[in-house]
A and B are shown apart, each in its own frame.
Chain A
C-alpha cells in the first residue's frame, strides 16, 4: 500500500488564488481602489471646499470628474467616499463575522442555548435591513458607528447560521469525540478542533457581507439616512447630484461607477476564495 502523499508538487493556497482569474482582476481593482482611497485625498483638492464660481463644471483637466452644484471637486469627493465605503464594508464584515462566529459556536455546541439564540436570529432576520437602519439612525443619530451597527445587526444571523451548521457537523466527528474522551475542556475543543473548520466558509461569507454592506451604506446615504452630508460618501454624493442629473450626469455617474466596480471586485475575490477554499460549496452553487 502506498500512503497518500498528496501535496507534493501542488501549488499552495496563495498560488492557487493568484492563478484564479476572478481573484487576480478583482484583487487588482480592489488594491487600486484601496490605494486611491488611502493616498488620493492627501493630494487632491479639499472635498468640502465650496467654490460657487466653479459650479457644475464638466469633467476636464482641472477637475477630473467635474464639480457639483456647490463647486466641490467630484473626484476628490469620490475618493473620500471610497474611504467611507471601504471602512463600512470592512468594519461590517469584521464585526458581523466576529459576533456571528461567537454566537454560532455557542449555538452549535451548547445545546441549552441553541434554541434561544436561533429564535432570536430568526427574529432579526424577519426585520427588513433598511427599515432597521433607518429606525436606528433616526433614534441614535447619523454617525459612522450607528451606520455600521445598523448594517451589522441584520448580517449577523446569516453568519450564525453558517457557523452553527459547520459546528453541528464537526462536533459529531470521531476526532472531536476522541478529544472529549481524553478530557479536553470544552473551550479548547472549540478553539482547537471546531473553529479551524469554520474559517474557510467564513472568509468567503465575509467578502459577500463586505460587498452588500457597501451597497446598503450607499442606499442609506442616497435615502438621506446614512453618514451625515458633511462627510462625502458615494450614497450622499449621488443623492445630492440627483436634482441635477439631466444637466450634469457626472455627479452621479462617477460615484455610481466606483460603487459598482468596488462591489464587483469584492464579489470576484469572494467567488475565487470560495472556489479555492471551499470547493464542495462551489460545486453546489
Chain B
C-alpha cells in the first residue's frame, strides 16, 4: 500500500535577507491512509511552510523548494504541471485553515462556495450538486443543512464556519486532508467537537490527515503519529505513545513539559488586605433605539468579586463570556453601566476622568497582543518611563527604576534604547510587565497575557508573573480562556458565561468538584487530558 503523502528530504529556501538560509531543511515524513499525523512546533518552526509546499501554495517569489520530493499517492507534486496540480487540489488533497472567517468568501453563500468545488471538478448537474452540498453539510453534523447552505459566512458561528470549511474540503473525498491549526481560533468546547468530527470523518473515510498544531494537548487528543519540528528541521517523529511518554529529543521534552498541568498545585489561602472589590457590576453595550429597535448586549451582569494583595484571581470563560469586559471596566477603559468598583476602598465606577487619573498608577494591565501593546515608534525605555513621569517622578529617577525593572523581568538594561520590533513576542510581554510595574501598582490585570505566546515562552512569562506578584505583593486579576494556564497560576477561579458569573471558588476545589454543568463541560473540553502525562 502506498502512502497517501510521502515527503522526502524536502528543503525550501528563504529569500536572501531572511534570518536563516532555509525555511525547512531535509524534512521527511509520510502519512498512511487512515492515519492522523500531527506536525508540532512553535512559531517559525516551518510546520506551515511544510503544509503549504504540499498544497503548492507557497509564494514562488519568496519561498522555493530546492531539494527533495513530495509524493501524493506516488505522484511527485513538485514536478507536476500546474494544470495537474490544480486538478489534484480539492480532488485528492485539500486543506482547512486556522481562521474560517477569512478562508471563506464573505459575499457568497456557503452552499454556493461548496458547490463551486463540485462545479470545477465534476460534471454534476446543478440539482445533483445541491444534493451533494446538503449531504456534505449533513456529514459535518450541521443542523438544518437546507437553511445553512443559504447563509453567508458572517451569519454563522466560528465552529459552524469551520464545519463548512471541512465540508468543502471533504466534498470530493480527497485522500489527504491538511489541517493548519484548524481549532486554534475556536473556543475550547467548540475545539473539542471539531477535533472529534475530524477524527470521526477520517476514520469513516480512511483518509490521511496531516494536522499542523502548536498545542501538545491537541496532539494527545487526535494524533496517531507525531512529527516534532524546530527551526525548520524534524527533530523527532514516532507514534503518539512513544513521543508523549518517552520523548527522545530534549526539545520535545521541553515542549511537553511546558504544557501546564490540569491539576492545580496546593496553594495557601491569601490573607493580604483587600485591594479590589466590585459589587453588582453591569455593562451594557448599545442603546435601546428611539422606537425600541436598538440592540443591547449585556456584556457583564451583576459581577461581584474581591481580590486581596498577594492573591491571583482567575476569570475564565470562552470568547464573548464578558471576561475582558470586566477587566476593561475595572481599568475604566470602558465605563461600567452600573455597580461599584472599590480600589482600596475608593469607588471609581462613576469617577470623572480627571480625578480618576490620580488613581491610575494603582492598577495596571498587560494585554494579550505583544505586537500591538508597545508604541512601535518609541523606544522601550521611553514607553516604560512614560507612566511614572506622568506622576511627577523625576526623569533620572524614572530611568533608574526602568533599568532596575527591565532586569527584574529578565532583560538587560541596554535593551531600553531599542525599539519594540527588535524583540520577540515573549520579550515584548516582559517589557509590558516592566512598564506596568514601573507604576508601582497594587493591582495587576493580565488580560490573556500569555495566550499569544509559544508554549515554552508562555511557561517563562507565567513564572515571571507569579514571581512579581509575590515580590511586590500584587493583587493579580488573571483573565484567560486556557484552563491549563489558569490551573497553574490562580488561587481562586471565577467561571463566566454570557456575561454572568457561573461559579467561583478556590482553584483546586473548582477543578476537583465543579458544581455547575458549564464548568464541567469546560473542564472536560481541555484537550489531551487522558493521554498527556501530568
Contact = CB atoms under 8 A, between A and B. Distances in A.
A174 B373 contact: yes
B288 to A, nearest CB: 19
A180 B387 contact: no
Nearest to A176: B375
B390 A185 contact: yes
A245 interface: no
A3 B364 contact: no
Contacts of A112: none
Interface in A166-188: 173-175, 177-185, 188
Contacts of B20: 2
Interface in B380-403: 383, 386-387, 390-391
A182 B421 contact: no
A181 B331 contact: yes
A4 interface: yes
Interface in A182-200: 182-185, 188, 192-193, 196
Given A1-B44, A3-B424, A4-B422, A182 B387 contact: yes
B422 A3 contact: yes
Given A2-B19, A4-B422, A184-B386, A178 B357 contact: no
B361 A183 contact: yes
B188 to A, nearest CB: 24
A178 B361 CA distance: 11
Contacts of B360: 180-183
B331 A179 contact: no
A174 B357 CA distance: 18
Contact of A175 (B19, B375, B426, B427): B375
Interface in A1-23: 1-6, 9
A174 B390 contact: no
Contacts of B423: 3-4
B374 A175 contact: yes
Given A2-B19, A4-B422, A183-B361, A178 B390 contact: no
A180 B422 contact: no
A88 B368 CA distance: 49
Given A1-B44, A1-B424, A3-B423, A180 B372 contact: no
Given A4-B421, A6-B421, A182 B361 contact: yes
Interface residues of A, number: 23
B383 to A, nearest CB: 8
A184 B333 contact: no
B76 interface: no
Given A177-B333, A192-B378, A193-B375, A3 B427 contact: yes
B439 interface: yes
A11 B167 CA distance: 48
A175 B373 contact: yes
B325 to A, nearest CB: 14
B439 A196 contact: no
A190 to B, nearest CB: 13
B435 interface: yes
Interface residues of B, number: 37
Interface in B397-434: 421-424, 426-427, 432
A65 to B, nearest CB: 49
Nearest to A184: B390
Contacts of A180: 333, 360
B377 interface: yes
A184 to B, nearest CB: 5
Contacts of A193: 375
Given A6-B421, A174-B373, A192-B378, A182 B390 contact: yes
Nearest to A1: B424
A174 B372 contact: yes
B224 interface: no
Contacts of A9: 17
A181 B373 contact: no
Nearest to B331: A181
B369 A184 contact: no
Contacts of B363: 181
B316 interface: no
A181 B333 contact: yes
Interface string B447-486: 0000000000100000000000000000000000000000
B367 interface: yes
B194 interface: no
Contacts of A3: 422-424, 427
B367 A178 contact: yes
Contacts of A4: 19, 421-424
B353 to A, nearest CB: 8
A193 B378 CA distance: 9
B365 interface: yes
Contacts of A196: 377
Interface of B: 17, 19-20, 44, 331, 333, 357-358, 360-361, 363-365, 367-369, 372-375, 377-378, 383, 386-387, 390-391, 421-424, 426-427, 432, 435, 439, 457
Given A3-B423, A177-B365, A178-B374, 11 more contacts: A6-B422, A9-B17, A174-B369, A175-B373, A181-B360, A181-B365, A183-B387, A183-B439, A184-B386, A184-B387, A192-B378
27 contacts: A1-B426, A3-B427, A4-B19, A4-B422, A9-B17, A173-B372, A174-B367, A174-B373, A175-B373, A175-B374, A177-B365, A177-B367, A178-B365, A178-B374, A178-B432, A179-B375, A181-B331, A181-B333, A181-B360, A181-B364, A182-B360, A182-B361, A182-B435, A182-B439, A183-B358, A183-B361, A183-B390
What 5 A-B pairs come out closest when comparing CB atoms? A182-B387, A183-B360, A174-B367, A174-B373, A183-B390
